[in-house]
Amino acid sequence: MIELSVCIPMFRAQHIGWLPLESFCRQKEIDFEWELVVAEELEDAPFGKERIKEYRERLLGVGCSKVTYMGLKKWIPLSQKYNLLADNCSGASKIYCGCAADLYPPPKRLRTQYDLFTNDVELDWCASGRTIFYDIVSEKTFLHDLFGPNVRKNDGSNRAVRMEIMKNLPVIDRRASVDGWIWDETQKYLKTKGKKFKTILDKTDNWKYGVNTQGLNNISHHRSSWFYNKAVRPKGIVDCSLDINETMPKDIMDRLRDCKKYAKIHKKGF
């Protein structure tokens, strides 16, 4: 029985969509069934169904018993893509694990989040407390640290949400700050149920073995100013002293460095 769903909204992910798939093929300590659900527009540099099929056997080896791919003939707002992903998750799944197309989650992400939700039936939301960002063009790294003072706690990557909440999101046209919108809607929904919102940040060292990237995902190009100009960085974006060449798989880093050649041809905007 599928207990957890990994949902990836892709858009113009032709040259970067492999990154999260490689991570999910390398997940550790999996003893439960999970599924992969992907939605992407077909007409604009898609990663593609056939390339996802190439990962089926490896995914099966780490507990992924079902892969659902939805090719969209027309572009839809990111908020509605989240609606679509949630609606197409298996009915038995209780955990929605969102993943950007330019994110390499740590190898214990699914194990950690499965345990958190299974052991705490009141938990509604969890995310990584720290995330390394890698800029493909400059090859520089930065750290998003949510444990600092006055940092919004809803901005962590590797977000996982109780499936019931995701299936009850309103259908609206929202293209930016969608994660903050989900955070707000989560609390609104729980309030209608007379429940208090419960969230937690992963405080383990999982963050050291994953990376989020900037440069080849359409919705992430606005982050450039965060990285290069310390004067305009949001709270929580700091220099990273960790050498990811020592914590990330060599083949992944080699492919990321090779991705620099696509940066100039990657289209921005919606």
- The domain ranges of the chain are 2-262
DSSP letter for each residue of 49-117: HHHHHTTHHHHHTTTEEEEEEEEESS---HHHHHHHHHHTS-TT--EEEE--TTEE--TTHHHHHHHHH
- What CA–CA distance (Å, rounded) separates 4 from 1? 9
Helix (H) or strand (E) holding 125: strand 125-128
- What CA–CA distance (Å, rounded) separates 234 from 215? 19
Tens of pLDDT along the chain (270 residues) come to: 999 999 999 999 999 999 999 999 999 999 999 999 999 999 989 999 999 999 999 999 999 999 999 999 999 999 999 999 999 999 999 999 999 999 999 999 999 999 999 999 999 999 999 999 999 989 999 999 999 777 876 668 999 999 999 999 999 999 888 988 999 999 999 999 999 999 999 999 999 999 999 888 765 555 566 666 777 787 888 899 999 999 999 999 999 999 999 988 887 766
Q: Pick from 41, 38, 45: which is nearest to 13 by CA?
A: 45
**CB atoms near residue 80 (< 10 Å):** 20
Check: CB of residue 32 under 8 Å from CB of residue 38: no
For domain 2-262, the CATH architecture is Alpha-Beta Complex (3.90)
Q: What is the pLDDT of residue 156?
A: 82
Q: What is the pLDDT of residue 153?
A: 66
Q: What is the pLDDT of residue 224?
A: 63
Q: What is the pLDDT of residue 112?
A: 98
Supply the pTM of this predicted model. 0.95
Say if strands 125-128 and 103-104 run parallel, antiparallel, or are unpaired: unpaired
Q: Determine the 3-state secondary structure of 223 from DSSP.
A: helix
Q: What is the pLDDT of residue 73?
A: 96
Extract the tokens encoding 23.
């991570």
- What CA–CA distance (Å, rounded) separates 170 from 182? 10
- What CA–CA distance (Å, rounded) separates 110 from 113? 5
- What CA–CA distance (Å, rounded) separates 156 from 140? 20
Q: What is the pLDDT of residue 7?
A: 98
- What CA–CA distance (Å, rounded) separates 204 from 158? 13
- What CA–CA distance (Å, rounded) separates 186 from 17? 28
Q: What is the pLDDT of residue 223?
A: 59
Extract the tokens encoding 206.
């999982």
Chain centroid to Cα 150, Å, comes to 23
Check: CB of residue 4 under 8 Å from CB of residue 68: no
Check: CB of residue 180 under 8 Å from CB of residue 154: yes
> In angstroms, what CA-CA distances link 229 with 47, 137, 144, 223, 225?
32, 16, 15, 11, 6
Burial 173-212 (b: 16+ CB within 10 A, else e): ebeeebbebbbebbbebbeeeeeeeebbebeeebbebbbb
